[in-house]
A and B are shown apart, each in its own frame.
Chain A
């Protein structure tokens, strides 16, 4: 069966450190992968999209890698700030629709 698995444990980190989130998938062949941020009680907001032929993508303090051999994406938040505290979701294209992981909750301590 198809699965998208993200870090099951919440991530608590000190301000200024780098947060690294993992997204592993099985029985998908995505042409691209996306990362979203979701705050409590609100809809997800798009952050980054990376295509299967791209190894790495950056946007400000965010970095995403995509390894189709390992079937894994890593999402990094560098120089983290308390405002980065949220749940982060990965999503894969799946036959003309997006399938989402359960998300990883990140808390950045001041």
Chain B
């Protein structure tokens, strides 16, 4: 089945640790995105990539890093520089970066303990 897969579903991080969230798609989509969602708020864009080996900062990139070495993979690292990382993280992909629907993964809930 084609789709977009995020793992893990739940993640706990100690303060000061870096953690990496996985996002894989087998839809052959060029564009991929990472969003953060906090309770009662909309999705805020962290990073996006329109093509392999290229990515751009979104609205809230500070404290996060990404890579796009393969078309199907777009991992997100939450670094210790992110002061308030507890949130619901959503990865999405789309065939092109404009004018097409986005497909979302099931999300990763990150909690700092």
Contact = CB atoms under 8 A, between A and B. Distances in A.
| A-side interface mostly | strand
A31 B99 contact: yes
A28 interface: no
A42 B106 contact: yes
Contact of A43 (B40, B50, B90): B90
Contacts of A91: 102
A43 B33 CA distance: 13
A32 B97 CA distance: 12
Contacts of A99: 45
B64 to A, nearest CB: 15
Nearest to A45: B104
A97 B33 contact: yes
Contacts of B42: 4, 89, 100-103
A43 B43 CA distance: 11
B101 interface: yes
Nearest to B99: A32
B113 interface: no
B58 interface: yes
16 contacts: A4-B42, A42-B106, A43-B92, A43-B106, A44-B43, A44-B102, A45-B104, A46-B103, A51-B99, A89-B42, A96-B97, A96-B98, A97-B58, A98-B92, A100-B43, A101-B42
Interface of A: 4, 31-32, 34, 41-46, 49, 51, 89, 91, 93, 96-103
Nearest 7 interchain pairs by C-beta = A43-B104, A46-B101, A102-B42, A100-B43, A96-B97, A100-B42, A44-B104
Interface of B: 31, 33, 35, 40-45, 48, 50, 58, 88, 90, 92, 97-107, 109
